[in-house]
Chain A
Amino acid sequence: MVVFTFWDWLWLILYIVVMIFSGVLFYTLGKRSESDFFLAGRGLPWWLPASSVYATHTATDTPVWMSGVIYQHGLTGMWYSFFAAWCAVSAFVSTRIFRRSLAYSQAEWQTLRFSGLGSELLRGWMAGWQVFMNMMILGWVGSAMGKVCHYAFGWEEWIGLVLFSSICAIYVLAAGYWGVVIADFQQGIVVFLGILIVSVWGVYEAGGPAGIVGRLNEMGESWRLNPFHFSGWFTGDFPIAWFITMLFVALLGGVGMGTTIDWYVEAQRIQSAKSVRDASYSIWAGTALVLTRNSLWAACILGFFVLNPGILSKDDYELAWFRVGFENLPPGMVGFFFAAIVAIHLSTVASILNLGALYATRDLYQHYINPQAGERRLMWVARFSTLLVLLGSFLYGSMMKNITDWLMFALWVMAAGVWLPNILQVIWWRFNSWGYLSSWIANLGLSWLVVWILPQAGVLPQLPDYAQFWLLMALGLLIYVPVTFLTRPDDMNHLVRYYVQSRPLGFWGPVRREAERQGLIRAVTEGIEKQTA
């Protein structure tokens, strides 16, 4: 258990007070309008959403998970986090297209991209699912914080789950996305410093680079230094087939929207940027920080490994990075480390709280229940929704031991099955709302079949995850492609309007020709050329 000195408590309390104060300071901005509460008025320079991307995707469970994969697999474990590289492509493709659409959320984008009843069904389904998923994700990170606090202070796990999320909710309720993004910027700095200090400290506790490499050589474990230590083409812990699938899924996935669960929170950051250019750089830079942060952790965990080899329990080695900090930092610095952990936690909690409230307020309440709602009413609904998401997270967080497997299933496999449709909706004009809707419904059923039911019945072997991905993709195609062609295309005028505004990539020939026939594309540029002449 960790014992705090006066200076440790001082760091921590000071930090929490500064966080709440700076968030609440933006109350007057946050309450101005729905656009301010959820998008900071669409006026942010690239580095603010970038720091929010970085801070949000550094969650309490992230060092737990990274410690696990690096302790087990050495530097090859870093590739498990490389799915984030979808942003390398998205920054210059789907981010640009989405930013131009001006949709507040991915659910709203469905009604801009598609038309008719199908688009509204998609919007409603996606908004409801996102509210639920954000409660689950918050419960998950809250549960991870509960474990950390239990390890450090011996607290009951529910205290870590409830306490810090509630503190965070103060400034999110007050200032909305303004509070989130300003706090994320500060938290990003504290988090980066905390990760850098602890990780470098951990490396030098283990004897520095030469000490770690020498010890790994003595142990016959030098393979852990090789980021490309494959176990074979199809076999073992790190097959080449998995690596190629990961690169394919990550990089090509950047062409689509929603190909990973992270898209939904990035979408808000994209729209908060002041220009298309700022949106692109915010996504690129935030993810670059995420990946390089993983590099610091990887080096530190290898240092931990040489000092503590042979730990068999996953629960033990997953706390490696936290142990490096708590066991090695001097008094006075431990408080700063815990403040960094709190920063890691609050940045994710704040973003997810506000995102869940966005879907509930704009996509469900405003669009379906009260389209004429004024800004004052929307602010109150936004705050009520924030509270609802918070309370939901406590419920799911308390059940997390029993539902972690289900959550991993929901995040990975259910997203895997709609990976290709999420790309098709961006690049192919003919892929309509019914095709997309059928892909979601089909995947719900197919993923259960492929992952659990058929292997239990002996019809299918238990396949590795990358093989499940390819199988689900193939099976899904057999359903949503016929549905697409058997149903009518979306309304052409609707598609033309979308095309002219967003200028998507891919197979949009008929829509483009219609836009040119209507004189819309030339008319826009001619008008601008006259204005700028």
Chain B
Amino acid sequence: MPLFRTNWTAHEADEWTKEDFWACVFSSLSYVFLMVGLALCFLLPWLGILITLIGVVFVWLMYAVIDPKLRKISAEYEVKQKEYLKNLDRVMKWEEQ
């Protein structure tokens, strides 16, 4: 069984799961490693390149974990968006609260 799901139904993708948590973790780590690594690339180049590459790995992990789910959420949501926009317009005009 894979560590992270890649096949989602619309209902399953709407739920908050461990993939969301790990995407946040990998995303945060990628920011740390990219910021520190790139600065060091111009000061201590070999160390900087290594740290930057680790940051790139975290970016790839983040994308691999969350993208299948995001695609499903987006596809499902867009079907309903027009109706939601009409509701929003009614709220703006005080026709609905």
Contact = CB atoms under 8 A, between A and B. Distances in A.
A85 interface: yes
A254 interface: yes
Contacts of A209: 42-45
A205 B94 CA distance: 63
A154 to B, nearest CB: 33
Contacts of A112: 88, 91
Nearest to A104: B88
A213 B35 CA distance: 19
A174 interface: no
B66 A92 contact: yes
A88 B24 contact: yes
A294 B92 contact: no
A276 B77 contact: yes
A100 B31 contact: no
Contacts of B1: none
A244 to B, nearest CB: 14
Given A78-B35, A362-B92, 10 more contacts: A78-B36, A85-B32, A92-B70, A209-B42, A209-B45, A276-B70, A497-B87, A505-B16, A522-B11, A525-B76
B4 to A, nearest CB: 13
A225 B44 contact: yes
A291 B31 contact: yes
12 contacts: A75-B36, A93-B20, A103-B88, A116-B97, A209-B42, A276-B74, A278-B74, A280-B70, A296-B38, A371-B93, A525-B76, A528-B79
A501 interface: yes
A272 interface: no
A78 B74 CA distance: 35
A96 interface: yes
A91 B97 contact: no
B39 A503 contact: no
Interface string A291-315: 1101110111010000000000000
Interface in A213-240: 213, 225, 227
Contact of B91 (A111, A116, A251): A111
Contacts of B44: 209, 213, 225
Contact of B27 (A88, A367, A501, A531): A88
Interface string B26-56: 0110111011111111111100000000000
A497 B84 CA distance: 10
Contact of A294 (B35, B66, B84): B35
Max count, chain A CB within 10 A of own CB: residue among B42, B66, B67: B42
Interface of A: 75, 78, 82, 85, 88-89, 91-93, 96, 100, 102-103, 108, 111-112, 115-116, 199-200, 203, 209, 212-213, 225, 227, 251, 254, 275-278, 280, 284, 287-288, 291-292, 294-296, 298-300, 302, 362, 366-367, 371-372, 494, 497, 501, 503, 505, 521-522, 524-525, 528-529, 531
A108 B30 CA distance: 33
A302 B45 CA distance: 15
Contact of A277 (B30, B35, B45, B74): B74
A372 B90 CA distance: 10
Contacts of B70: 92, 276-277, 280
B38 A92 contact: no
A291 B34 contact: yes
Contacts of B9: 525, 529
B38 A295 contact: yes
Which 8 A-B pairs give the minimum distances between C-beta atoms?
Answer: A299-B42, A295-B38, A295-B39, A275-B74, A88-B27, A277-B74, A525-B11, A277-B70
B24 A93 contact: yes
A81 to B, nearest CB: 8
A501 B43 contact: no
Nearest to B24: A89
Contacts of A277: 67, 70-71, 73-74
A254 B23 CA distance: 13
B73 to A, nearest CB: 5
A300 B38 CA distance: 12
B21 to A, nearest CB: 9
Given A88-B27, A367-B92, A302 B43 contact: yes
